[in-house]
């Protein structure tokens, strides 16, 4: 790769709001990317392909003389960085991405305990996986509900929610949609943990019940941290509806769901 790489990368980055944005999208360390820009270091073949694929150019083209590369990009200018910039939804959410705090410490698996919206009087335990992907924090929530109201039959309805997470000031905001039927969305607001070790997080979730009336509902939720690695099979077996007095639901969870302490209208966190 020639010494033209840095100049050509800077030209490509000019089609985006900032170099920091490019690094987030590429999931490349900013310090390392700066070395590419200053010609102090050359990308590996793997990173070169990632960079080329991201900008829509071939790896060898990044090493062309700068004036030749500029003419090449001029002919393709409408495509460089354009798909995301033309997407109004992307533009709408971009300020959230830029202002969101670092959620890395919250990445991992959780049990979510909630008063079930569809089967009142029961507690729904879901499995959540929060992860970072390309500088964005995404999560997946797995649910299983008994098909007969109030029953805990083995036959159950399965739901899979996909969403994004943001930290704005001192709150965690999560929004998701049901990916199997694409017929509902929900939002969760959690109080972050200020302890060195995350255990349980309190919050509220809004959504709709899965019944015929699609009743809007709001419930207290508790997230219980399981770790960054789990046995998915044994853990998923615990994803189901529970009666409030089920011994597998400990007293602290029941108290948080029913009588969580309130301060200025918001829950305290453990």
Per-residue pLDDT of 72-119, as tens digits, reads 877 555 455 555 555 687 778 888 888 898 999 999 999 999 999 888
Q: Which one is predicted more confidently, 201 or 21?
A: 201
As to burial, measured by CB atoms within 10 angstroms (0-12 exposed, 13-18 middle, 19+ buried), residue 112 is buried
Domain contains 96: no
Buried/exposed 148-172: b ≥16 CB within 10 Å, e otherwise: eeeeeeeebeebebebbbbbeeeeb
Shared domain check, 110 and 47:
no
Shared domain check, 109 and 60:
no
Last residue of a domain, one of 41, 64, 91: 91
In this prediction, residue 187 has a pLDDT band, given cuts at 50, 70 and 90, of: very high
Shared domain check, 21 and 62:
yes
CA distance 25 to 133: 9
Is the pLDDT reported for residue 212 higher than 80?
no
User: How many domains would you assign to the chain?
Assistant: 2
Which two structure tokens, joined as six digits, stand for 213? 């009336």
Domain contains 137: yes
Shared domain check, 199 and 75:
no
Is the pLDDT reported for residue 270 higher than 50?
no
Shared domain check, 80 and 113:
no
Shared domain check, 147 and 256:
yes
Domain contains 184: yes
pLDDT in tens, 221-265: 999 999 999 998 999 999 999 998 999 999 999 999 986 443 333
Shared domain check, 113 and 76:
no
Domain contains 97: no
Shared domain check, 121 and 52:
no
Shared domain check, 247 and 115:
yes
Domain contains 163: yes
Which CATH number does the domain housing residue 171 bear? 2.40.128
In this prediction, residue 1 has a pLDDT band, given cuts at 50, 70 and 90, of: low
Shared domain check, 153 and 49:
no
In this prediction, residue 181 has a pLDDT band, given cuts at 50, 70 and 90, of: confident
pLDDT of residue 208: 87
pLDDT in tens, 127-176: 999 999 877 899 999 998 753 344 444 556 789 999 999 999 889 999 99
Last residue of a domain, one of 34, 62, 91: 91
Shared domain check, 110 and 86:
no
pLDDT in tens, 12-40: 888 787 888 889 888 888 889 999 998 88
Is the pLDDT reported for residue 60 higher than 80?
yes
CA distance 126 to 33: 39
Is the pLDDT reported for residue 2 higher than 70?
no
How many residues are given for the chain? 270
Output phi, psi for 64, to 5 deg: -70, 155
Which residues are within 8 A (CB) of 264 and not within 5 positions of it... i.e. 6 or more apart? none
pLDDT of residue 265: 39
Domain contains 99: no
pLDDT of residue 166: 95
Is the pLDDT reported for residue 183 higher than 90?
no
Last residue of a domain, one of 61, 91, 121: 91
Shared domain check, 256 and 153:
yes
Query: What domain range includes position 256?
Result: 104-267
């Amino acid at each position: 790769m020639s010494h033209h790489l840095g100049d050509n990368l800077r030209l490509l980055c000019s089609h985006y709001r900032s170099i920091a944005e490019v690094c987030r999208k590429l999931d490349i360390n900013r310090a390392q990317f700066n070395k590419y820009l200053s010609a102090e270091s050359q990308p590996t073949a793997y990173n070169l392909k990632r960079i080329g694929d991201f900008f829509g150019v071939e790896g060898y083209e990044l090493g062309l003389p700068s004036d030749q590369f500029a003419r090449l990009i001029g002919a393709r200018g409408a495509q460089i960085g354009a798909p995301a910039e033309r997407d109004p939804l992307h533009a709408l959410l971009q300020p959230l991405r830029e202002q969101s705090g670092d959620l890395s410490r919250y990445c991992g698996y959780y049990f979510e305990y909630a008063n079930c919206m569809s089967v009142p009087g029961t507690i729904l335990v879901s499995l959540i996986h929060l992860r970072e992907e390309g500088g964005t924090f995404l999560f997946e929530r797995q649910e299983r509900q008994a098909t007969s109201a109030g029953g805990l039959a083995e036959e159950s309805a399965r739901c899979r929610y996909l969403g994004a997470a943001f930290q704005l000031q001192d709150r965690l905001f999560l929004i998701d949609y049901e990916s199997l039927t694409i017929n509902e969305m929900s939002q969760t607001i959690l109080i972050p943990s200020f302890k060195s070790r995350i255990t349980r997080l309190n919050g509220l979730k809004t959504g709709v019940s899965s019944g015929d009336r699609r009743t809007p509902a709001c419930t207290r939720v508790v997230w219980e941290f399981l770790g960054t690695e789990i046995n998915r099979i044994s853990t998923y077996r615990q994803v189901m509806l529970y009666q409030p007095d089920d011994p597998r639901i400990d007293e602290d969870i029941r108290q948080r769901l029913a009588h969580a302490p309130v301060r200025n209208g918001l829950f305290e966190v453990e």
